[in-house]
A and B are shown apart, each in its own frame.
Chain A
Amino acid sequence: MSSFSVTDTSSRTKWIAGSLVIFYALVTMIPLIWIGVTGFKSPADAISYPPKVVFDPTLEGYVNLFTTRTRQTQEFLENNPPQNWADEIVRQYDMVIVGPSKFGERFLNSVIIGFGSTFLSVFLGTLAAYAFSRFKIPLADDLLFFILSTRMMPPIAVAIPIFLMYRNLGLSDTHLGMILLYTAVNISLAVWLLKGFIDEIPREYEEAALIDGYTRFQAFYKVVLPQAATGIASTAIFCLIFAWNEYAFAVLLTSATAQTAPPFIPTIIGIGGLDWPAVAAGATLFLLPVMIFTILLRKHLLRGITFGAVRK
């Protein structure tokens, strides 16, 4: 073993590398932890200086996030005792809960649009990638370059034409419109990533299936898809992360019906002063689905992130 070996590292090197990784992980996680913690603070604790590390946890932020409240007279409050624990929390500000907030609805919109466009991107991307990988397509290289070129400028650069187009087509502020838009942005990534994965699956498997009595589509479905699972999973994660976090188009194109969570969360600030705990609670909940999705598929992601370069 030479002292310059790439693969065999000394224990000291390992120790330094390990500490660096842990240090980096902590640094990147501090904002996330801060957001998570702030969600359980009272508004006063949330803005106190110096920042409070030890505090009395409260669900105020979450209650405010999910409800609309109104201030009431002392007389009303005395005659109507609190109906539940959430009501009790808002009473300390002489308020009562009058109904749910829009957060649940916006969150659901995010789920529908995020997962809908992810599914559509991956579905279309897989079919296109398979065709590019297996069939002789005239001008295939040019088509692939064209598909990639849709990514060569920031999508927001075409915001105005899309805004006008969507208004004329009646797609503004609709779930379908947002799903189509995010799919259009994601599909180039999906095609390119998936083509790499499918290229690596030997054709012999499909040919064997064709001879074993299956049609081309059945061979694709029964033999290629299961083996492309890794690539499909990692592509899905990338697509979901983009669609889930997208802000600019969501602000521009959605308002009352199809608004997603990203443009909604900042608006919480405006309701009854600077309600940082409610914003933090919203952000925390917003992070969860992508986090869970990624954790579920992380084994695939780790292999997939090498872009299929490593053979089994």
Chain B
Amino acid sequence: MAEVRLDNISKSFGDTVGVADMSFKIADGEFVVLLGPTGAGKTTTLRLIAGLESADRGDIEIGGVLVNTLTPAQRNVAMVFQQYSLYPHLTVRENLAFPLRSPILKTPEQEIERKVQEVADVLHIPHKLDNKATELSGGEMQRVSIGRALVRNPAIFLMDEPLSSLDAKLRADLRIELKRLQAEMNKTLLYVTHDQIEAMTMASQIGVLDEGRLVQFGTPREIYQNPNSTYVAARLGQPRINLLPTGLFGESGPAAASQIGLRPENIEVGRGAEAQIVRVEHLGDQTRLHLKLSDHDIITLIDAQASYSEGETIQITAVDPLFFDATGARIS
């Protein structure tokens, strides 16, 4: 395991910007998640680190070594792809042994046997070892492809939305399993996703990407509580943060502020401005109220037991709103 540094990395594909001036550091043993919508440059960043793309500008260091000109094999990284992850013509065992048999590692057969068995046990797939890769279910396939990364001892694990093609239950299970593996084995991991739950639950650091730029980098809690722009604020939180013009609640903010960001849990019910209830959603553990306040939609959370009905009018107040200027940048 090793530290990975990106220093002002840029990469374009023709006229399209893939990654622009990206710099960040992944410390040894950290679980970093890059979060952003499709096209934000998440996958390109992974591919640049893996060596599948070469950067137009900037340096990448793995373990203190400049790897700009090294081939993927020489960089000693492991990668889990979103799909097409297993070699379809090989069995599960051969898939797991594939990296160990590479000319770079040239592991003795006995050692391969042992490691493959070990990884199969960790991932609960020892009974599938002699199946063809194509005979597995989606969850098993992804587990094997994570296993193919685990058999080695790479500088860093790169994972490109490995869970996105799985169904919700499997995704939740593998998410926990992955976090456990990383924590137990103290591996360094860079994980790419557009799923905020994955980011919040697994990451020790989150990097939020927007159109190829890294817009904020920090712990999940920091990013959630202290977003530096409306864009970052809207990436985390379910339901999403309410972005409203200033003055609705008579709150006093900085002079330059033109919008406030109000997370659903930061709205107090019972006093303040009058709002109409448009819709009530009972989710069991919580109840969401969809409100209308002088033509603005607002969502808030209330106690699951509380009973409100559509059409009612209630009073709401903003508690500790976040202030943003007209461009969406945070004002503190």
A-to-B contact residues, CB < 8 Å: 202, 204-205, 207-215, 218, 223, 226-227, 312
Query: A136 to chain B: closest CB distance in Å?
Result: 11
- Would you list 8 pairs from A and B whose C-beta atoms are within 8 A, ordered by A residue? A204-B83, A207-B50, A207-B81, A208-B87, A211-B73, A212-B98, A214-B103, A215-B73
Task: From B81, B85, B89, B148, give the contact of A227 (CB < 8 A).
Answer: B89
Task: From A202, A210, A226, give the contact of B73 (CB < 8 A).
Answer: A210
Task: From B50, B73, B84, B134, give the contact of A213 (CB < 8 A).
Answer: B73
Q: B84 touching A211 by the CB < 8 A rule?
A: no
Task: From A213, A218, A227, give the contact of B99 (CB < 8 A).
Answer: A213
Query: A218 to chain B: closest CB distance in Å?
Result: 7
Chain B residues within an 8 Å CB radius of A212: 73, 78, 98-99, 102, 148
Chain B residues within an 8 Å CB radius of A214: 73, 102-103
In the complex, what residue of chain A is closest to B148 when comparing beta carbons? A212
Complex CA gap A207/B78 in Å reads 11
Complex CA gap A223/B72 in Å reads 16
A204-B84, A208-B81, A227-B89 are known contacts. Are A213 and B103 too (CB-CB below 8 A)? yes
Query: B70 to chain A: closest CB distance in Å?
Result: 12
Q: Which B94-139 residues sit within 8 Å CB-CB of chain A?
A: 98-99, 102-105, 134
Chain B residues within an 8 Å CB radius of A204: 81, 83-85
Q: B71 touching A210 by the CB < 8 A rule?
A: yes
Complex CA gap A209/B50 in Å reads 12
Chain A residues within an 8 Å CB radius of B304: none
Complex CA gap A218/B79 in Å reads 18
Of the listed residues B77, B85, B87, B104, the one surrounded by the most CB atoms of chain A closer than 10 A to its CB is B87
Complex CA gap A202/B85 in Å reads 10
Q: B85 touching A208 by the CB < 8 A rule?
A: yes
Q: B72 touching A211 by the CB < 8 A rule?
A: yes
A204-B81, A212-B102, A213-B102 are known contacts. Are A227 and B73 too (CB-CB below 8 A)? no
Task: From A202, A213, A312, give the contact of B104 (CB < 8 A).
Answer: A213
Task: From A205, A211, A223, give the contact of B50 (CB < 8 A).
Answer: A211
Complex CA gap A208/B85 in Å reads 8
Q: Which B46-74 residues sit within 8 Å CB-CB of chain A?
A: 50-52, 71-73
Chain B interface SS verdict (over half): loop
Q: B102 touching A223 by the CB < 8 A rule?
A: no
Complex CA gap A223/B84 in Å reads 12
Extra pairs beyond A202-B84, A218-B103 (12, CB < 8 Å): A204-B83, A205-B87, A207-B81, A208-B81, A209-B87, A210-B51, A211-B51, A211-B52, A211-B72, A215-B73, A215-B103, A312-B134
Of the listed residues A202, A211, A214, A218, the one surrounded by the most CB atoms of chain B closer than 10 A to its CB is A211
Q: A205 touching B73 by the CB < 8 A rule?
A: no
Query: B89 to chain A: closest CB distance in Å?
Result: 4
B-to-A contact residues, CB < 8 Å: 50-52, 71-73, 77-79, 81, 83-85, 87-89, 98-99, 102-105, 134, 148
Complex CA gap A213/B155 in Å reads 13
Complex CA gap A210/B72 in Å reads 6
Complex CA gap A118/B102 in Å reads 31
Query: A190 to chain B: closest CB distance in Å?
Result: 22
Chain A residues within an 8 Å CB radius of B71: 210, 215
Query: B10 to chain A: closest CB distance in Å?
Result: 20
Chain A residues within an 8 Å CB radius of B87: 205, 208-209, 223
Query: B44 to chain A: closest CB distance in Å?
Result: 13
Chain A residues within an 8 Å CB radius of B105: 213
Chain B residues within an 8 Å CB radius of A208: 79, 81, 85, 87, 148
Complex CA gap A210/B104 in Å reads 11
Complex CA gap A113/B77 in Å reads 47
Q: B88 touching A227 by the CB < 8 A rule?
A: yes
Complex CA gap A208/B52 in Å reads 10
Complex CA gap A227/B89 in Å reads 7
Chain B residues within an 8 Å CB radius of A205: 84, 87-88
Chain A residues within an 8 Å CB radius of B85: 204, 208
Query: B106 to chain A: closest CB distance in Å?
Result: 9
Complex CA gap A226/B87 in Å reads 10
In the complex, what residue of chain A is closest to B145 when comparing beta carbons? A208
Task: From B51, B78, B98, B134, give the contact of A209 (CB < 8 A).
Answer: B98
In the complex, what residue of chain B is closest to A218 when comparing beta carbons? B103
Q: B79 touching A211 by the CB < 8 A rule?
A: yes
In the complex, what residue of chain A is closest to B88 when comparing beta carbons? A227
Query: B113 to chain A: closest CB distance in Å?
Result: 18
Of the listed residues B73, B77, B79, B83, the one surrounded by the most CB atoms of chain A closer than 10 A to its CB is B73
Complex CA gap A232/B84 in Å reads 22
Query: B192 to chain A: closest CB distance in Å?
Result: 15
Chain B residues within an 8 Å CB radius of A213: 73, 99, 102-105
Of the listed residues A202, A205, A212, A312, the one surrounded by the most CB atoms of chain B closer than 10 A to its CB is A212
Complex CA gap A207/B71 in Å reads 11
Query: B79 to chain A: closest CB distance in Å?
Result: 5
Complex CA gap A223/B148 in Å reads 15
Of the listed residues B51, B72, B98, B104, the one surrounded by the most CB atoms of chain A closer than 10 A to its CB is B72
Complex CA gap A213/B105 in Å reads 7
Query: B87 to chain A: closest CB distance in Å?
Result: 6
Query: A122 to chain B: closest CB distance in Å?
Result: 19
Query: B216 to chain A: closest CB distance in Å?
Result: 29
Chain A residues within an 8 Å CB radius of B81: 204, 207-208
In the A-B complex, the 8 residue pairs with the smallest Cβ-Cβ separation, listed nearest first, are A213-B102, A212-B99, A213-B104, A204-B84, A226-B89, A210-B72, A202-B84, A213-B73
Chain B residues within an 8 Å CB radius of A209: 87, 98
Q: B52 touching A207 by the CB < 8 A rule?
A: yes
Query: B282 to chain A: closest CB distance in Å?
Result: 43
Of the listed residues A213, A223, A312, the one surrounded by the most CB atoms of chain B closer than 10 A to its CB is A213
